[in-house]
Amino acid sequence: MTEPPTEKALLAFQKDAGWSVTRRESDTIRSPHSRAQWVSVEYQKVRIGIARLELAPPEFCYVSDLVIKSKFRRLGVGRWLLRHIEDLCIKLAIRRILLRPEPNSRAFYDSLSFVDDPMVPNILRKDLNPFQRKVQLAH
């Protein structure tokens, strides 16, 4: 994305997702040594998925506001988006992805090998190994 979504667009995505508490971009956790990057998935010129990445190389990427429009869920869009986020992190030599899942999305992240972070309650993490990833992509 060249620009972040408007607050109205972000809230519409969150409402469509059925989030019980909507977060505004101004509420997002920020690290003083990171930079924000919005990414999106488009289908037929319509934005169907978004995510905000807090990039803090080489340590972590914090993923917030990952939302896929309800009409496009369970079609692999979220899995595809996270796979591309992982690829970006590997290119930037980032070692770990962190996120705080919505309660009804925990099984999705479990299926993608995210685990509870032992240091921070309610945060999931996935450690990235660029060598393992290259082997997986070769098959």
Rg of the chain, C-alpha, whole Å: 15
Residue 9 has pLDDT above 60, yes or no: yes
Q: For the segment 24-76, what is each residue's pLDDT rounded down to a tens digit?
A: 544 455 555 568 889 999 999 999 999 999 999 999 999 988 999 999 999 99
- Cα-based distances in Å from 134 to 59, 61, 87, 90, 131: 20, 20, 10, 10, 5
Tokens of 48: 């169907």
Q: For the segment 64-74, what is each residue's pLDDT rounded down to a tens digit?
A: 889 999 999 99
Tokens of 124: 């999931």
**Cα(93)–Cα(110) distance, rounded to whole angstroms?**
23
What pLDDT does 110 receive?
95
**98 neighbors 60 (Cβ within 8 angstroms):** yes
Higher pLDDT, 34 or 127: 127
